[in-house]
Structure 1
Amino acid sequence: MSDDDSWSAEITRRRALGGMFTLGAAASAAGAGTMALFSDTESSTGNTVQAGTLDLTVNGSGSNAVVDVSNVAPGNTGSDSTRIRNDGTLPGYLTFGVAGFANPENGVNEPESGALLERDPRGASSGGDHTGELAQSLDIKMKLLVDGDPHYLVGDENEYELASEVRLGAYSLNGDSGPADLQLDAGQEIEFVTDYKISDNVRNEVQSDSVVIDLAFALMQERGQTVVPETREVDASTIGPKGNNAGVRFAVTNDFGQEATVSALHVQPANTDLELLSDLQGGSGYRNGNYDFGADVYVDADTDGWVDGGSGEFPVPGWIDLTADGYDDNADREAVIAAGNTATVSLYAFRQTEGSYPFDMTDEPVRVTLDVTLNDGTETFVPLTMTPE
């Protein structure tokens, strides 16, 4: 594995973002060997050189942007907005990224447990941070309004984007052909707008579920500074029994300098026809490429981690929680990677629809994001891209 295949923490989902402005001075001497015949000295007191400031405020304060929509129901639509302002005395470059994502189940009530599409049917105590169903039925748009002109970040003027398909990482504020940042003059204020709609076809499976997207805005002195974990490209290969090549395998190295626990993965194939990750087999006996017993996700690490949907499946794009597959058994476990060690991740198998034959993933790009908790309690995300060969 090359060094580019390793990952390290740039920021965490809750670490403060700040900018630093530095004034420097240079001195020089000249005229060696000369003599002043006349001289005069004057004094000047009270001179001041003051550094300018960069001060990004959200809704009039330095807090994080908040998009808070609650108690939604099938068919609901709405919008929420946040004011972003450069309250400093210097222009700066605004950057934006998605730093984290969760889709909590928030427990399962009685009507929800009986829903056909409910993946955590075991009652109020079941479910995890990424096993809710709402992200598969929530459409969103995100945009900046700059002097009335929209700069779309998620979705566009005519199309929403499914919440489960929102990618982690940095976003361009000027379109694909423009710079990734947006200059914000001193005193300038813009608006961040989120539009949403809930599918009117959704049923009880989304009751009490929520979607939490961590957004990162930062105001920088210079271009090119990043505020979210960098997306890394890693080598990957196809895997599968009898040469069907429907799985993907890749390796990552823990360069955080401390033990890291992988609790969930977000899997997003570029091919939008692929809807499921499912081995269509039960059991949790999968080891080192042997698919005879079945496991949808397996992490070969210092402490192996896996999750098996049994005869079910995991929808993609979407989060797959290693700690909760909806059943009270031992077919799920977090993976632990010691500092400096490498883990191998296997995903099997990609399918277009339920019951369809496994899809050949050769040369099919996939984005995978790891939800990682470090030994010191810090939670961060590791976004990866790959094209299996």
Structure 2
Amino acid sequence: MTRRRLLGGLSAIGAVGVASGAGTWAYFSDTEESSGNTIEAGTLDLKVADTDEGFGDGVSGTWTISNAKPGDSVLADLTLQNAGSLEADHVEIGFSVDETEADGSTGTNEADTMPSSADGMADQFEVTVFTYNGTNVRSNLSDANSNGIVDIDDLVTGNGAVLDDLSPPPSANGGTESMTMEFRWAHDDEFDNSVSGINNDYQGDEFDLTVTYALHQDSGQDL
């Protein structure tokens, strides 16, 4: 064998060895994925119903007295429903009023001893019944304005702690709880340190009562 043939053969063997070595680094691999992973938020969805309107996002005219006079009262029952998918921590109820000096023949008669203002009219209406889930909320309310009765004004300004922690809340997915409230236009002689004829300050006047209901997820939440 000639020198040229010998070297050519060794070159061929080396080329095969290189090719074989490169092949050992070709590892297999495979990948898969987990799909369809979503986070869907639950809901707190409070609905309210009274004897005139079915469950909805609000009701109107629940406590209404027309042509009212001292001694008149109005009682109404409501039902709160959690139409959402989450359990709540508690219910809160808030009150606000808009007192209006009436215009026209009934608001300007001479018997109205405070014809320029209806301020304080909410103080006239005593809360005689207030229950939630059969519990007597009325017994825990205080006379915040110190006029001798627990009235609508006291619900607006002085009893937030009582009204911010009503339990149990309606349970998720359609659970309900009931609320009943009655208020009455008190007479002059039912107020502490009353002045004769105080009811006459409000002849022909009116006040609008708004009641707000809240379903809260956490104990620290409030309106």
- Is the CA contact (8 Å cut-off) linking 1:53 and 1:90 kept in structure 2? yes
Return the letter of the residue paired with 1:209.
Answer: D
- Is the CA contact (8 Å cut-off) linking 1:137 and 1:162 kept in structure 2? yes
Q: In 2 relative to 1, CA 226–57 (structure 1 residues): closer, same or farther, beyond 3 Å? A: same
Which residue is equivalent to 2:135?
A: 149
Partner of 1:92, secondary structure, is coil
- Is the CA contact (8 Å cut-off) linking 1:181 and 1:223 kept in structure 2? no
Return the letter of the residue paired with 1:199.
Answer: A
Which residue is equivalent to 1:113?
A: 109
In the alignment, the residues of structure 1 paired with residue 211 and residue 102 of structure 2 have an alpha-carbon distance, to the nearest angstrom, of 21
Which residue is equivalent to 1:55?
A: 45
After superposition, the C-alpha distances for 1:56-99 in whole angstroms (9 at most, x for unaligned) are 11221123675331212232222022221111111113343545
In the superposition, the TM-score normalised over structure 2's length comes to 0.59
In the alignment, the residues of structure 2 paired with residue 220 and residue 151 of structure 1 have an alpha-carbon distance, to the nearest angstrom, of 19
In the alignment, the residues of structure 1 paired with residue 158 and residue 218 of structure 2 have an alpha-carbon distance, to the nearest angstrom, of 19
Which blocks of at least 5 consecutive residues in structure 1 are unaligned? 1-37, 121-126, 228-389
Which residue is equivalent to 1:190?
A: 177
After superposition, the C-alpha distances for 1:235-274 in whole angstroms (9 at most, x for unaligned) are xxxxxxxxxxxxxxxxxxxxxxxxxxxxxxxxxxxxxxxx
Partner of 1:211, secondary structure, is strand
Return the letter of the residue paired with 2:208.
Answer: V
Which residue is equivalent to 1:180?
A: 165
Higher radius of gyration, 1 or 2: 2
Which blocks of at least 5 consecutive residues in structure 2 are unaligned? 1-27, 50-54, 189-196
Q: In 2 relative to 1, CA 223–210 (structure 1 residues): closer, same or farther, beyond 3 Å? A: same
Return the letter of the residue paired with 2:89.
Answer: Y
In the alignment, the residues of structure 2 paired with residue 100 and residue 111 of structure 1 have an alpha-carbon distance, to the nearest angstrom, of 22
Return the letter of the residue paired with 2:202.
Answer: V
Please say if 1:225 is aligned against 2:218: no
Q: What's the CA shift for 1:118?
A: 1.4
Matched residues, percent identical? 21
Which residue is equivalent to 2:92?
A: 96
Return the letter of the residue paired with 1:151.
Answer: V
Over the aligned positions, Cα root-mean-square deviation in angstroms equals 3.8
Higher RCO (C-alpha under 8 Å, 6+ residues apart): 2
Please say if 1:87 is aligned against 2:87: no
Match of 2:152 among 145, 155, 163: 163
Q: What's the CA shift for 1:211?
A: 2.5
Q: In 2 relative to 1, CA 112–166 (structure 1 residues): closer, same or farther, beyond 3 Å? A: farther
In the alignment, the residues of structure 2 paired with residue 108 and residue 47 of structure 1 have an alpha-carbon distance, to the nearest angstrom, of 65
After superposition, the C-alpha distances for 1:300-348 in whole angstroms (9 at most, x for unaligned) are xxxxxxxxxxxxxxxxxxxxxxxxxxxxxxxxxxxxxxxxxxxxxxxxx
Written as runs of structure 1 = structure 2, the 5 A alignment for 1:1-389 is 45-59=35-49, 60-63=55-58, 67-71=62-66, 72-98=68-94, 100-107=96-103, 109=105, 113-115=109-111, 118-120=113-115, 127-128=116-117, 131=118, 134-141=121-128, 143-146=130-133, 148-152=134-138, 154=141, 161-168=150-157, 171-173=160-162, 180=165, 182-184=167-169, 185-186=171-172, 187-200=174-187, 205-227=201-223
In the alignment, the residues of structure 2 paired with residue 91 and residue 66 of structure 1 have an alpha-carbon distance, to the nearest angstrom, of 29
- Is the CA contact (8 Å cut-off) linking 2:100 and 2:207 kept in structure 1? yes
Return the letter of the residue paired with 1:193.
Answer: T
Q: What's the CA shift for 1:170?
A: 6.4
After superposition, the C-alpha distances for 1:111-141 in whole angstroms (9 at most, x for unaligned) are 96322x6111xxxxxx34xx25643432124
In the alignment, the residues of structure 2 paired with residue 144 and residue 39 of structure 1 have an alpha-carbon distance, to the nearest angstrom, of 69
More strand by percentage? 1
Return the letter of the residue paired with 2:48.
Answer: V
Q: What's the CA shift for 1:104?
A: 1.5
In the alignment, the residues of structure 1 paired with residue 130 and residue 59 of structure 2 have an alpha-carbon distance, to the nearest angstrom, of 17
Q: In 2 relative to 1, CA 154–69 (structure 1 residues): closer, same or farther, beyond 3 Å? A: farther
Report the number of matched residues: 175
Q: What's the CA shift for 1:107?
A: 2.4
